[in-house]
Copies of this chain bind each other. A is one copy, B any other.
Amino acid sequence: MTVDAETALAHAPPGHKDELRLWLRLLTCTTLIEGEIRTRLRRDYDTTLPRFDLMAALDRDPGGITLGEVSRRMMVSNGNVTGLATRLEAEGLVERRARPGDRRAQLLRLTPKGRREFARQSAAHEGWIADLLAGLGEADRAALFRLLGTAKASVRAALSPEDP
């Protein structure tokens, strides 16, 4: 355990295979769940995941939030939200209204119809997720939640610019 071992390690191929495997497994889990949720939303409610996500982003703020805030919460582009909001508005599920004192911004909020629809959908959605993750015990769930928090912090740290 002297210079030789250290040298061997230092010269070993980068070997980030572990991280890669972890990422691929993370991606697989997400893809599996997301695909199933997509299918069920279409089958049972004739809607899509992005529509559901947008309504979820609005649900906690009865007064409405700006399109930009929706974009931030959903982690998608501005233009994306514009299109989604337009389609949902056409279906009477959300409505735009001016933000007092700022003619650039618009507030988006659920209509009563949208609120009813989302209540039904989100109850089913919560049950689906619980079913899919039913194989994890309480302890596993807690541990996984914590570790994913660490992972999230790691990614955010790697992404944030180095200026405090």
Contact = CB atoms under 8 A, between A and B. Distances in A.
Interface in A134-160: 134-136, 140-141, 143-145, 147-159
Given A18-B141, A22-B148, A145-B22, A32 B129 contact: no
Interface residues of A, number: 50
A113 interface: no
A75 interface: yes
A130 interface: yes
A130 B18 CA distance: 9
Given A126-B16, A140-B147, A135 B159 contact: no
A23 B33 contact: yes
A26 to B, nearest CB: 6
Interface of A: 14, 16-23, 25-36, 75, 126-127, 129-136, 140-141, 143-145, 147-159
